[in-house]
């Protein structure tokens, strides 16, 4: 049975020095913000990203880059090995995924759905497996879901289905791995101001719609930023969340309230 950190000093609970972390899709946006917060807390972070052009940003963060297609099992296994560095893993953040808009349901092809599920679900399953066998002392696995899994929406059917599967995977994995000291949680972001979201909304901007106002259209009235998700991930990775597993943490400014 794991030893509780309940009475540890606050500073110790958020101290990740010496912890080894793997963040998929960490070269930009939410993944980069999560990686930066983990590094700030002292973790040794390896970023698995498909784009080698992410190298300057990864270096700025203070992490190590492994060029990796998470949908390729051998590449994912290699990234996990490099992150563990013969010492095991402590934190894995399954951030890599295909972006939401998939088009009208009647126009989405089976090939697209297969690719969506392969990256957003199967790759997270594989990464969870690779993490579990490299966490001899327990650890924290954090999956990126979405509020789309909770409420759906037009033109995102395949994406919403994939993220709902992530939530189910999180729950099942938390039950299975808990006795090994491995906590599994998910974060469900709302609309976050990333380059991908800006690209998706560009047609609206061309039509005269205020994109910044649209991004901040939530009860809190704040523009959702990658660091909002990063702080949630840091919490779930830290000792502050030692009694939290199987949970979906919604971070959306109250949009789904």
As a whole number of Å, the end-to-end CA separation of the chain is 36
Q: What is the pLDDT of residue 153?
A: 79
* pTM exceeds 0.85 for this model: yes
Q: What is the pLDDT of residue 3?
A: 62
Taking residues 71-88, what's their average pLDDT? 96
Residue 130's nearest CA partner among 193, 88, 190 is 88
Tell me what the pLDDT averaged over the chain comes to: 93
Q: What is the pLDDT of residue 206?
A: 72
- Confidence bin at 190 (pLDDT 50/70/90): very high
Q: What is the pLDDT of residue 6?
A: 66
pLDDT at 41 over 70: yes
pLDDT at 1 over 80: no
> DSSP of 77-140, one letter per residue?
HHHHHHHHTTS--SEEEE-----S----GGG--HHHHHHHHIIIIIHHHHHHHHHHTT-TT-EE
pLDDT cut 90: percent of the chain above it = 82
Where do the domains of the chain lie, and which CATH numbers do they carry? 10-192+224-246 (3.40.50.720)
Taking residues 180-196, what's their average pLDDT? 93
Q: What is the pLDDT of residues 120-166, one digit of tens each?
A: 999 999 999 999 999 999 999 999 999 999 987 788 899 999 999 99
Q: What is the pLDDT of residue 20?
A: 98
Please give the residue that has the higher pLDDT: either 65 or 206: 65
Distance CA 187, CA 135 (A): 21
Distance CA 60, CA 152 (A): 36
Distance CA 208, CA 66 (A): 40
- Catalytic status, residue 159: yes
pLDDT at 205 over 60: yes
Decide if 92 contacts 131 (C-beta within 8 A).
yes
Catalytic residue, candidates 25, 159, 166, 237: 159
- Confidence bin at 201 (pLDDT 50/70/90): confident
């Amino acid at each position: 049975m794991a030893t509780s950190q309940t009475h540890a000093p606050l500073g110790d609970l958020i101290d990740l020095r010496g912890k080894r972390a793997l963040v998929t899709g960490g070269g930009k946006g939410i993944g980069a913000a999560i990686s930066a917060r983990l590094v700030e807390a002292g973790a040794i972070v390896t970023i698995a990203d498909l784009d080698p052009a992410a190298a300057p940003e990864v270096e700025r963060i203070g992490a190590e880059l492994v060029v990796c297609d998470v949908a390729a099992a051998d590449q994912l296994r290699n990234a996990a090995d490099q992150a563990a560095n013969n010492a095991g893993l402590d934190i894995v953040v399954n951030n890599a995924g295909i972006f939401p808009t998939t088009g009208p349901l009647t126009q989405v092809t089976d090939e697209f759905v297969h690719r969506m599920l392969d990256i957003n679900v199967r790759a997270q399953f594989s990464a969870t497996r690779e993490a579990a066998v490299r966490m001899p002392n327990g650890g924290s696995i954090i999956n990126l879901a979405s509020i789309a899994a909770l409420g759906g929406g037009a033109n995102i059917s395949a994406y919403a289905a994939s993220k709902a599967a992530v939530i189910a995977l999180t729950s099942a994995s938390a039950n299975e791995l808990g006795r090994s000291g491995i906590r599994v949680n998910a974060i469900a972001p709302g609309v976050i101001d990333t380059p991908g979201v800006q690209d998706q909304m560009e047609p609206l901007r061309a039509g005269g719609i205020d994109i910044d106002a649209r991004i901040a259209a939530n009860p809190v009235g704040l523009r959702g930023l990658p660091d909002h998700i990063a702080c949630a991930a840091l919490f779930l990775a830290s000792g502050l969340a030692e009694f939290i597993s199987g949970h979906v943490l919604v971070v959306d400014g109250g949009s789904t309230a």
